[in-house]
Amino acid sequence: MRVDDIARRVSGKLQGNGAITIRGVASLEAAGPEDLSFAEEPRALSRARESQAGCILVPRGGAIPGRTTIEVEWPKASLVRVAEILYPEEAPAPGIHPTAVVDASADVARDASIGPHVVIEKEARVGAETRLAAGVFIGARAKVGRQCILYPRVTVYRGAQIGDRVILHAGVVIGSDGFGYVFTEGRQHKKFPQIGQVVIENDVEIGSHSTVDRGSLGVTRIGAGTKIDNLVQIAHNVTIGRGCLIAAQTGIAGSAKVGDHVVMAGQVGVGDHARIEDGAVIGGQAGILPGKIVRKGATVWGTPARPLREFKRMYAWFSRRAATESRITAAQKRSR
């Protein structure tokens, strides 16, 4: 793919040799003469001068003298567009593999691709152009929408509802029972009914071995466009809004409410019935206590979570505590 063709496709301003052939994309450090790379921040632009990349996507006004560059509004996003062209995904042929088990009452689109050892139970539905890889299980009356990709060994329990263009990576479990028990008079933990539902809206992506429990009596819902990393646990009756980003090893306890465009870093813990409002940012390993409210647009850190500015002050104080105690002890000894 020629550089001048790339410039046209990303509506960018070319400087340098448009006849260079680009065959791949790479980081600034790893790129070679046939690779496309990108630089957005000032530090990256400085490193870009030493890169061997054949062409570099840069912000408007960020052209590098003597180098072949394309100025665009969002270099990283433009790189994604080019990568999709250079590395097209090979879609399997439509049809049902001979080893798949599909109930006669299931509704499977003719152009869906059903891989080896897939199981689709009674009255389940699989939409057009959807791909189910080897070992996927679709429970009774579950629905999987159009143009979805379910990677190997994804499990979708009975009745779960999955929208269009959803991607579920290997080992994801949708609709398992929530962790709900009642402590009875006989001092036993008796299971509370887990008979609710899971709804995954359009354009959601969920990473490998993450789990989304069904509602106990209501609905667990993941909003459109939300992206969830590997090894994330979402409990029963949780509601997550649109366009959220949730990083690995995060756990969200039952009946928590998460607004739109919330960002959670790795290993965040959210207590039951907590509420996180739109646009909040939760720092890595932060703990949101049960019932806690994180206000719209706030950035919080620590356990229990507190506003970032307050957390920084407390962290600095604790960091100086040992030295302060030593000085106090020395002063006390001198005064005796």
Residue 69 burial (10 A CB sphere; 0-12, 13-18, 19+):
buried
Encode pLDDT of 209-255 as tens digits.
Answer: 999 999 999 999 999 999 999 999 999 999 999 999 999 999 999 99
Q: Is 273 a catalytic residue?
A: no
| Residue among 97, 117, 189, 236 flagged as catalytic | 236
| Amino acid residing at 59 | P
C-alpha pair distances (Å), 172 with each of 22, 137, 233, 236, 249: 36, 11, 10, 16, 14
pLDDT > 70 fraction of the chain, expressed in percent and rounded: 99
> pLDDT class for 181, splitting at 50, 70, 90?
confident
The pTM score is: 0.86
| Amino acid residing at 86 | L
> pLDDT class for 306, splitting at 50, 70, 90?
confident
pLDDT at 309: 78
Encode pLDDT of 66-108 as tens digits.
Answer: 999 999 999 999 999 999 999 998 888 999 999 999 999 999 9
Degrees to nearest 5, angle at CA 271 with 268 and 275:
95
Average pLDDT for residues 20-38, to the nearest whole number? 96
Q: Which residue has the higher pLDDT, 309 or 72?
A: 72
The tokens describing 159, both together, are 């009745």
Domains of the chain by start residue, with CATH = 3-86 (3.40.1390.10), 95-308 (2.160.10.10)
